[in-house]
Amino acid sequence: MSPTSSPLHGRLAVVTGASDGIGTVIATRLASLGAEVVLPVRSPEKGRRALDALRREVPDAEASTRTLDLASLDSVHALVTELRGEGRPVHLLVNNAGVMTPPDRQTTSDGFELQWGTNHLGHAALTLGLLPLLREGRARIVHQTSIAARRGRLREDAIDATPYDAMASYTQSKIAIGLFAQELERRSRAQGWQITSTLAHPGVSPTNLLAAQPGLGRSRELGARRVIRLLSRLHVTGTVASAAEPAVLAATAPASSGTFFGPSRLVGGPARPIALWEPFRDVGDARKLWDLTIDGIGPRFAV
């Protein structure tokens, strides 16, 4: 396939969390389809390694890094300002980055519980801040949720529960992502923004979310990750590569294919369109979440 005949030739894609794991695979797959890929990263060294890995797979790829710490709204605003200053339409935005269950409560630089602030608010601020470029590119936006969000509903008292409950906070951040995706799609249709908001979930795979992460206060990998690694080898759960495919499908499938994509089994299997989970269907919760989000991120990212 020649570069000019590639499905995503001439398209600009921004992929968060692309410095390792699922994100690197997503960015590489989009580059292989012809997209120019921007990798916003917190660690320059990890960003360089991710670019090297991407270019080994796609030698002629157009790819670059930018600086982004989703746990800082100042950092999000700086990236938004940089990209808007460049003035190029954004055709794909994949909100993939995330943190999971730090053992002790931590906060973002803006004072939000870390998982809520990083997984949801940081990505919401990035999406809304880039809205002019996304509208110009008639963009597809992919929001990465988790099987943790398949049950329950939005609960303000669980977002930052006292005492700290790591899994409850993680679940709330992932429910928020699903509700935000749905509300963004509704508002785009109502207001003629000409963007498409989709959801994906990766199933279960041995990514670094549960690895040793001293920065999160986790000195060793969780036992669950060792179990998942074994189940992945036995093809019960997914691999890192297969777990990236729902987001790639969400980014590239025809709009008529649906708005939510995941593995064919809850924990793994080929990517396909799936039914929207119950927690994401409540329009009232979605509107409440939108208002909470706007209050949280502040006027710099106002629509």
Selection from 93, 118, 158, 146 nearest residue 277 by Cα: 146
Considering the candidates 116, 170, 261, 301, report the single residue annotated as catalytic.
170
Selection from 102, 36, 94, 25 nearest residue 63 by Cα: 36
Residue 136's alpha-carbon distances to 11, 90, 131, in angstroms, are: 12, 7, 8
| Count of alpha carbons within 13 angstroms of residue 146, beta-carbon side | 26
Q: Strand order in 92-95's β-sheet?
A: 63-67, 36-41, 12-15, 92-95, 140-144, 196-200, 260-263, 271-273
**DSSP 3-state assignment of 87?**
coil
Neighbours of 208 (CB within 10 A): 16
Residue 301 contacts by C-beta under 8 Å, 6 or more apart in sequence? Answer: 73, 76, 77, 80, 124, 125, 128, 129
- CA distance linking residue 78 with residue 97, whole number of Å: 18
Whether residue 164 lies in the annotated active site: no
Residue 262 tokens read as 């995941």
Neighbours of 45 (CB within 10 A): 9
One-letter amino acid of 35: A
Residue 23 tokens read as 């994100």
**Catalytic center residues:** 170
